[in-house]
Amino acid sequence: MTSEKTQNCSMCNRWKSDEALRIMEFRLSYLVLNRDQFFPGYCLLFTKQHATELFHLEQKARQELMEEVSRVACVLSGLFKADKINYELLGNMVPHIHWHLVPRLRHDPLWPRPVWAEPHQELLLTDEEYRQRSAAIRQALEAV
Ligand SMILES: [Zn+2]
């Protein structure tokens, strides 16, 4: 679907935008690493289709999408030794279904509050570090 909406949507264009952050293409969604890695393993999973609400999807697609989300969450939990995975699906700023999947640790500075509870210094990696982290997540996903 190409419309004014999708052309102006940053999430619709995100998969193409930064190769180093790409992790995996699923049937219904894409998974990328979040540029800010203050919370190690912080990923974004977003639908290929431009949709703003889960209830806009067909039931079967919604169920399959939840399986993709859960598969990623399970892998992130193991890889980053998370005490809890946070799933954040807001879409106020970017109204295209996307989850912030964040491995949380009991000793992280914002625990137990949401990652957005207060500002933090962004942690940016080099392209090589992004590629290594993306590859580690990809390999773990392929092994499931
Ligand atoms: Zn979109």
pLDDT at position 3 over 60: yes
pLDDT at 144: 83
Model-level pTM? 0.94
Query: How many whole angstroms from 129 Cα to the centroid of ligand 1?
Result: 28
**CB-CB neighbours of 138 under 10 Å:** 15
Token pair recorded at residue 72: 């990623």
pLDDT at 92: 95
Query: How many whole angstroms from 101 Cα to the centroid of ligand 1?
Result: 18
- On average, the pLDDT of the chain sits at 95
The pLDDT confidence band at residue 4, using thresholds 50, 70 and 90, is low
Query: How many whole angstroms from 51 Cα to the centroid of ligand 1?
Result: 7
The pLDDT confidence band at residue 17, using thresholds 50, 70 and 90, is confident
Burial (CB count within 10 angstroms: exposed 0-12, middle 13-18, buried 19+), residue 120: middle
pLDDT at 2: 53
What is the arithmetic mean of pLDDT over 81-94? Answer: 97
What is the arithmetic mean of pLDDT over 65-92? Answer: 98
Q: Are 98 and 91 a contacting pair, CB within 8 Å?
A: yes
Query: How many whole angstroms from 12 Cα to the centroid of ligand 1?
Result: 4
Query: How many whole angstroms from 7 Cα to the centroid of ligand 1?
Result: 8
Domains and CATH numbers, the chain: 4-105+116-143 (3.30.428.10)
pLDDT at position 7 over 80: no
Q: Are 125 and 37 a contacting pair, CB within 8 Å?
A: yes
- Provide, rounded to the nearest whole percent, the portion of the chain with pLDDT above 90: 92
